[in-house]
Structure 1
Amino acid sequence: MAPLKSLEQDHRDIDSHFQSFCALFGIFSVEDFLLNDHYVLAAMAERQPESERLKQGITELLSIIDGQHKPLLNGMELLADALHNKRVLSTGCDGIDLLLGGGLREGQLTELVGPSSSGKTQVCLQAASNVAKKHMGSVLYLDTSNSFSPQRIACFLDLAKGRFLQNVMNSILCQSVYDIFTMFGVLHQLESSMRSQRGPQMVRLIIIDSISSLITPILGGSGSHVIAGHALMVSAGYLLKKLAYEYNLAVLVTNHTVGGEGGVPKPALGETWKSISHVRLLLSHDRENNTSSVSIIKHPSLASGMASSFVICG
């Protein structure tokens, strides 16, 4: 689903006045609208000078959403979709691939959690190079801290030369993103191009390194700011999962750790984000042995606590 602004041309009730009203409640897209209580929104519209126009906009949005509902699928149809349309993409990190039964699964959002210098970015870079090298399609890499390294990508491809190296590097589309609103813009643009098949070769993997850098700043404050921040966070997760499922691509995001009970580190972004990802992995790095360890925190079909070790090559 799209930003409200993109609906303005075809739906006259969703005009700039209506968009400004919605922005007061942290609603900038159809996904944001879905996360809000429509009855409360309508009640707030009643208090505005042009209440009828605003209520017509709410009705128009509900009509758009209702028209985009897809038919329900039964168990066999879901199984067939998983077997034929949702592939597994190797990350190139043997320990992670072994632990996950081959790698990142299309249709799922995988979250890689770890403290600073645990190797999260290195895993992202290796996954990007491996997917671009071995799978038909491209990688969208959203870099939030200027940590993307084309030189490191080239190291992972040390045997590649000439046109092959050029093709792999061209298949990794890197975009610097420093706030969540820019991220929404990039993802909505991707969705639009994939829906109309006007974009570059099919994206197979989205990487966001790191998602917590974009979300943490919007969770501060108090009152309505906290509510709006959490709504945006959930909306971001919903959009990523929607892209993964509907367009048969994998999503990999990184998250940092914060202090938990008894000083034990835990994933950042709190309980609300905890339920977003399909797969949650904990990454650590032993500097003395130069080995990385990864364990499962959450997985739809594998037991929590399962672990594996690996060395990042290149």
Structure 2
Amino acid sequence: MAPLKHLEKENPIIDVSFRDFCSSHGILTVEDFLLHDLYELAAFAERQKNADRLKEGITLLISLIELQCRPLLNGMELLEDLQCNKHTLSTGDKGADSLLQNGLREGQLTELVGPSSSGKTQFCMQAAASVAEKHVGGVLYIDTGNSFSARRIAQYICSSSDAALVQKVMSRISCHTVFDIYTMFDTLQCLEVTLKSQGQMNVNEYRLRLLVVDSISSLITPILGGSGSQGRALMVAIGYLLKKLAHEHNIAILVTNHTVAAGEDGKTKPALGETWKSIPHVRLMLSREHNNNNCTISILKHTSMPSGQTVKTMTLKDN
């Protein structure tokens, strides 16, 4: 999260006096500002001796935030962007690719839901290997539970007997370990800066094409306790940032989520609740059959396909 102090260099009105006023209302970062009731904040500013300057600072901060918002696009522009820039990326699994109409779509956030040991991490690593090899693209794998295995990913590379090819493909995959939501914000904001600078310099070699977060629920669940709204607001903010990166930089984003009990009948549902439900473009449920290692993927939500479609997919070798 960007501290307000970082804005002062280019915007002198966001000075110590303005930041002190904001901090007295619990506002230390841009995200805090967005979560606050701005009408209430402006009303408090009216009562101060330097009211005009404080209100000018509030107005400036709002305008700076609005500048970061995407411009409105009409239907034809969106269709052209989809056809020209939003390609599909193979997951490395024929069944999953068939279900998803050729794979993960760039510009979209796909969520893979499943209980523990259902194969979510294996699916993510197989997709990472597939994108790095078949699409000659860069992959960023954000690991929140020490589950990343370079050896396992190497096993998914088709010509794994070719050591030179394995080394080349593996060099396109980067892993970053993150254990809390605030580090996640920092990681994604640094990534956004890097992607923008690469775009300005026309750096296309091994362009980042897939971002994996395994698992998003491990970061969000700890902040959702209690009756306060801050945890939900942070959850929505991280979802928005992921979708923003996907759309603006033509990245396919794959996140994993666990399941929770839905009632006394033993059924389960995706974790993180109704607020998170609206964030992913695509939601998939991964389940592992009893008495064997076969897996099934079903569509819970999709932008262009009906829910309920199911396919038999990969066979797990182990947990």
Aligned equivalent of 1:212: 217
Whole-Å separation in 1 of the counterparts to 2:113 and 2:28: 29
Shift of 1:11: 1.9
Tell me the amino acid that sits aligned with residue 114 of structure 1: G
Shift of 1:288: 2.8
Aligned equivalent of 2:178: 177
2:234 counterpart of 1:232 = yes
Larger displacement relative to structure 2 (163-172 or 193-202): 193-202
Tell me the amino acid that sits aligned with residue 292 of structure 1: C
Alpha-carbon contact 2:159-2:165 (below 8 Å) kept: no
Whole-Å separation in 1 of the counterparts to 2:120 and 2:38: 39
Tell me the amino acid that sits aligned with residue 273 of structure 1: W
Shift of 1:168: 1.2
Q: Could you list the per-position Cα deviations for residues 27-72 of structure 1 after superposition, in whole angstroms to 9, with x for gaps in the alignment?
A: 7345x64455422333355578976655333211112134445543
Aligned equivalent of 2:115: 115
Shift of 1:3: 6.1
Aligned equivalent of 1:283: 286
Larger displacement relative to structure 2 (17-26 or 243-252): 17-26
Tell me the amino acid that sits aligned with residue 300 of structure 2: I
Match of residue 267, structure 2, among 259, 264, 267? 264
Larger displacement relative to structure 2 (34-43 or 302-311): 34-43
What SS does the corresponding residue of 2:229 show, helix, strand or coil? helix
Q: Could you list the per-position Cα deviations for residues 178-211 of structure 1 after superposition, in whole angstroms to 9, with x for gaps in the alignment?
A: 0011111111111111111178842111110000
2:249 counterpart of 1:247 = yes
CA-atom RMSD in angstroms = 2.7
Aligned equivalent of 2:128: 128
Alpha-carbon contact 1:180-1:215 (below 8 Å) kept: yes
Alpha-carbon contact 1:106-1:251 (below 8 Å) kept: yes
Whole-Å separation in 2 of the counterparts to 1:299 and 1:139: 23
Alpha-carbon contact 1:26-1:232 (below 8 Å) kept: no
Q: 1:269 to 1:16 in 2, by over 3 A?
A: farther
Give the unaligned 5+ runs of structure 1: none
Whole-Å separation in 1 of the counterparts to 2:192 and 2:52: 32
Whole-Å separation in 1 of the counterparts to 2:183 and 2:254: 18
Larger displacement relative to structure 2 (100-109 or 130-139): 130-139
Whole-Å separation in 1 of the counterparts to 2:267 and 2:16: 48
Q: Could you list the per-position Cα deviations for residues 229-262 of structure 1 after superposition, in whole angstroms to 9, with x for gaps in the alignment?
A: 1111100000001110011111100000011133
Tell me the amino acid that sits aligned with residue 142 of structure 2: L
Map of 1:156-171 to 2, 5 A cutoff? Answer: 156-157=156-157, 159-160=159-160, 161-171=162-172
Whole-Å separation in 2 of the counterparts to 1:185 and 1:23: 24
Whole-Å separation in 2 of the counterparts to 1:122 and 1:17: 52
Tell me the amino acid that sits aligned with residue 187 of structure 2: V
Alpha-carbon contact 2:3-2:30 (below 8 Å) kept: yes
Q: 1:9 to 1:257 in 2, by over 3 A?
A: same
Alpha-carbon contact 2:293-2:316 (below 8 Å) kept: no
Whole-Å separation in 1 of the counterparts to 2:27 and 2:261: 29
In our comparison, the structure showing a higher alpha carbon Rg is 2
Aligned equivalent of 1:152: 152
What SS does the corresponding residue of 1:116 show, helix, strand or coil? coil
Map of 1:275-314 to 2, 5 A cutoff? Answer: 275-286=278-289, 288-312=291-315
Alpha-carbon contact 1:194-1:202 (below 8 Å) kept: no
What SS does the corresponding residue of 1:261 show, helix, strand or coil? coil
What SS does the corresponding residue of 2:153 show, helix, strand or coil? helix
Give the unaligned 5+ runs of structure 2: none
Q: 1:131 to 1:44 in 2, by over 3 A?
A: farther
Whole-Å separation in 2 of the counterparts to 1:252 and 1:300: 15
Alpha-carbon contact 2:119-2:316 (below 8 Å) kept: no
What SS does the corresponding residue of 1:110 show, helix, strand or coil? strand
Q: 1:23 to 1:169 in 2, by over 3 A?
A: farther
Whole-Å separation in 2 of the counterparts to 1:137 and 1:128: 9
Whole-Å separation in 1 of the counterparts to 2:44 and 2:287: 48
Structure 2 length-normalised TM? 0.87
Aligned length: 310
Alpha-carbon contact 1:93-1:312 (below 8 Å) kept: no
Alpha-carbon contact 2:143-2:214 (below 8 Å) kept: yes
Q: 1:47 to 1:144 in 2, by over 3 A?
A: farther
Identity between Structure 1 and Structure 2 (%): 57
What SS does the corresponding residue of 1:308 show, helix, strand or coil? strand
